[in-house]
Amino acid sequence: MAPATDPEQLRRQVLEELEQATAWLQSRWPERPRVGMILGSGLGPLARCVEPQAEFPYTEVPGLVPPTAQGHQGRLRCGHAGDVPAMVFQGRVHLYEGHPAHRIAFPVWLLRRLGCRLLMIFSAAGGLNPQLAEGQVVVLTDHINLMGVNPLVGLNHPDLGHVFPDMSRAYWPRGIALAQRLARQLDLPLPGAVYAGMRGPNLETRAEYRFLRRIGADVVGMSTVPEVIAAAQVNLPVLAFAVVGNMCLPDALGRMTHEHILQATQQATRHLAQLVERLVPQAVSELAADQQQPAT
């Protein structure tokens, strides 16, 4: 569909596409996903946490666009994580691929409409905090949006969710504590981290890395932020994990390649999968326990 230019038309178009995609998926996989996962660069193998019942290429699902970035599959898996119905977006699209921000938020709105209660996001990131190391997994506690765009522009309408979403608990605090408790049991270090979202596609300059560290970021990446903003709009608690694929120390910066980042990220997937397998059922039951209350 040609992109709408008028805000009213854009809203109608997005709502229509959401209805189509919801009906399309419900007719092919009748369960309500309780957890939704979005997998980024090099993290496709995490899909194995979900036993598949159905899989669809993004090209078949209304409203989804196939990713072009290396390391992103573009398949939607529907199945069970333990006994929890789950949907896994294997690969995501990014702003740097030229898509408007609402296209990146689309899977989040879709999950919410399908009945999802928890969004889990996985991405690769650069490590700004010198205490981090390549291959280290972090759980995001907050973000700084430096992407220059916002997926809710023109779409902050009651038909979609909050008009002015509160971001103070966008990263589910009790979920973060639970993830860290379970990680300790697995001997997996899982520090909290603030994520700086950049539009990309280039990696940052030394001066930019220095700046990002000074303004309080621990890691930097080119994804996650649009999805988290969309999740806050629709009251969807988020657990977001990033794997450090490269260290970004401005005074000791070597040359870096995307292949290196993918490789370093892939190495962490086994540990991360162990954590996710334990975390999903506990997180979902914790959320079910306080169904009527906002997630804190």
| Site for ligand HPA contains 245 (CB under 6 A) | yes
Residue among 42, 85, 91, 126 that touches ligand HPA (CB under 6 A): 126
- What are the phi and psi torsion angles at 68 (to 5°)? -110, -15
Is residue 97 among the annotated active site residues? Answer: yes
Is residue 94 among the annotated active site residues? Answer: yes
Provide the residue count of the chain. 296
Which residue's entry shows tokens 């629709």?
Answer: 234
Is residue 230 among the annotated active site residues? Answer: no
Q: With contacts defined by CB under 6 A, name the span among 15-23, 57-65, 132-140, 214-222 that binds ligand HPA.
A: 214-222
Rounded least distance, CB 245 to ligand HPA, Å: 5
Is residue 235 among the annotated active site residues? Answer: no
Is residue 258 among the annotated active site residues? Answer: yes
| Site for ligand HPA contains 124 (CB under 6 A) | yes
Going from the C-alpha of 19 to that of each of 113, 207, 256, 292, the distances in angstroms are: 9, 45, 42, 25
The span from the CA of 132 to the CA of 213, in Å, is 13
| Site for ligand HPA contains 35 (CB under 6 A) | no
Contacts of 83 (CB under 8 A, 6+ apart): 281
**14 neighbors 161 (Cβ within 8 angstroms):** no
Rounded least distance, CB 222 to ligand HPA, Å: 5
Out of 37, 58, 81, 97, which one is annotated catalytic? 97
Is residue 19 among the annotated active site residues? Answer: no
Which residue in 113, 122, 127 sits closest to 15, CA to CA? Answer: 113
Q: What positions carry a catalytic annotation?
A: 41, 72, 94, 96-97, 124, 222-223, 246, 258
Binding site for ligand HPA (CB under 6 A): 124-126, 198, 203-204, 220-222, 245-246, 248, 261
